[in-house]
Amino acid sequence: MEPGSYGPGPDAPGPDAHGAGVPAPDVSALVRELTRRADPARLRQDVEFLADRPRGRIHAPDAMVRAEAHVARRLTEAGWRTERQPFDVRWRPGCTDAPGGARLSPLRFRLHRRLTGANLLAELPEPPEPPERVEPPEPIEPPARPGPAEPGERATVLVGAHLDTVVGSPGADDNASGVAALLEVARLLGGLPRPPAVRLVCFDMEELGCVGARVAARASGGDGRRVAGMLCLESVGCFATAPGTQAMPPGFGAVFPGAAGAVRASGHRGDFVLVVHRRSSDGAAGLWRRAAEVVDPPLPAVTLRDPRPDGPLGALAGLALPPVNHLGRSDHAAYWNAGVPAVLLTTTANFRNPRYHRPTDTPDTLDYERLTAVAVATAATAALWRPPATTRPRRHRR
């Protein structure tokens, strides 16, 4: 059993964790540098600001505007260029944002007649070009046309978290924790000497059925840039070290014996991060796991491969295996369905946190040391994730 880990098990990613032909990065060195600069006090401050009241575009619009302004301000302070991308969609299937448990019950289904919201995107500005040298004139030849993207080249990595809450819950864990981790990722990556190709996305209306993420995922790659994949931060602040604090969905052990065995072997302690991936994101899951092993404090990780393929077929396949549907309960699922590799990082929400979707989901219930470690491991993964050599550039779907 590896340090800070429950062991891979049969559901874990394979040995090719970084793409064939691509050298393995020095994860430890980067994690050490990021850990040195990380600050749990900053994450606590962000969670306390965001989770002092419920927020949502419909049930608490003023609080949502306030929260969005806070996120934009923090990103700008960290050196990121932000862009608000409004959307207006009609007749969208989704769910209610009334308080409750898992969004899988038919009673929670809603067909939304019209929803108007906005995602917040952020990127690091390109470094300035060096001054041009004045050279003697030479014969000018027509420039060669740029060729297709080469396998294994640097591509954009998306890191996302949703900003809204259900009605009546301040949402410290769900999902101020994810947003605070995203802001810390921004600060850590913004301080690197060479800005990585990372885009941050703060999603709207996740609690209504991942509406903002579905809009963003459909537009992914529309600017012609290659997308390596997406990391989703969902409810990442609740940790419990006592035995019996981690539950599992009914039938989970039969479908995912490796992950279930790891949880049982730990005494059902809720002290790990669940890393949910598919075959297309094996590399990122393995990279995050390696980073979590050397972060301070070390984070146990249970990796779990969703057996479904990316794309619409994978979404339909979940109907035959209800336990699998729990693996798509956040914004990463929209990217899976759009054919983009994605990883869900979570402390399992209602399967660990008794305050999930309740007024008691408050900032004093989170573990900020471990939440900071989540942010460090995520920042390292985003900075180092490369698509495998067999990955082809994704075409924009209109």
CA 289 – CA 269 distance, rounded (Å): 18
* Mean pLDDT of all residues in 378-393: 78
Determine if the peptide bond prior to 297 is cis (ω within 30°).
yes
pLDDT, residue 167, reads 97
Q: Inform me whether the pLDDT recorded for 213 exceeds 80.
A: yes
Name the pLDDT band for 216 (thresholds 50, 70, 90): very high
Find out whether 180 and 200 touch, Cβ atoms under 8 Å: no
Share above pLDDT 70 across residues of the chain, in percent, rounded to a whole number: 81
Confidence of residue 132 (pLDDT cuts 50, 70, 90): low
Residue 221: predicted pLDDT: 73
What pLDDT does 65 receive?
98
- Give the model confidence (pLDDT) of 10-41 as tens digits: 454 543 344 433 445 689 999 999 999 999 99
* pLDDT tier for residue 318 given thresholds of 50, 70 and 90: low
| Per-residue model confidence (pLDDT) at position 24 | 52
Q: What is the pLDDT of residue 14?
A: 44
* More confident of the two residues 7 and 206: 206
Task: Give the pLDDT score at 64.
Answer: 98
Residue 326 has a pLDDT of: 87
Q: Is the pLDDT of residue 66 over 70?
A: yes
What is the pLDDT at residue 277? 97
- In angstroms, the CA 150 to CA 100 distance is 47
At 148, list the tokens: 């297709």
Residue 352 pLDDT > 60, yes or no?
Answer: yes
Of 315 and 191, more confident: 191
Residues 6+ apart with CB under 8 A from 221: 227, 340, 393, 394, 395, 396
Question: What is the model's pLDDT at position 7?
Answer: 38
Least confident interval from 3-7, 89-93, 119-123, 250-254: 3-7
% of the chain surpassing 90 pLDDT: 72
pLDDT tier at 311, thresholds 50, 70, 90: confident
pLDDT in tens, 34-65: 999 999 999 999 999 999 999 999 999 999 99
pLDDT tens string 331-347: 999 999 999 999 999 99
| β-sheet bridge partners, residue 346 | 234, 274
Per-residue pLDDT of 89-101, as tens digits, reads 999 999 999 987 6
- Apex 199 CA angle, 368 and 85, nearest 5: 105
pLDDT at 6 over 60: no
What is the pLDDT, as a whole number, of residue 220? 84
What is the pLDDT, as a whole number, of residue 23? Answer: 45
The arithmetic mean of pLDDT across residues 365-380, rounded, is 98
- The confidence band for 133, taking pLDDT boundaries of 50, 70 and 90, is low
Summary mean pLDDT of the chain: 86
pLDDT, one tens digit per residue, over 143-174 is 333 333 444 456 899 999 999 999 999 999 99
Three-state SS for 70-115 is HHHHHHHHCCCEEEEEEEEEEEEEEECCCCCCCCCCHHHEEEEEEE
pLDDT value at residue 387:
78
Q: Is 297 buried (19+), middle (13-18) or exposed (0-12) by CB count in 10 A?
A: exposed
pLDDT at 389: 58
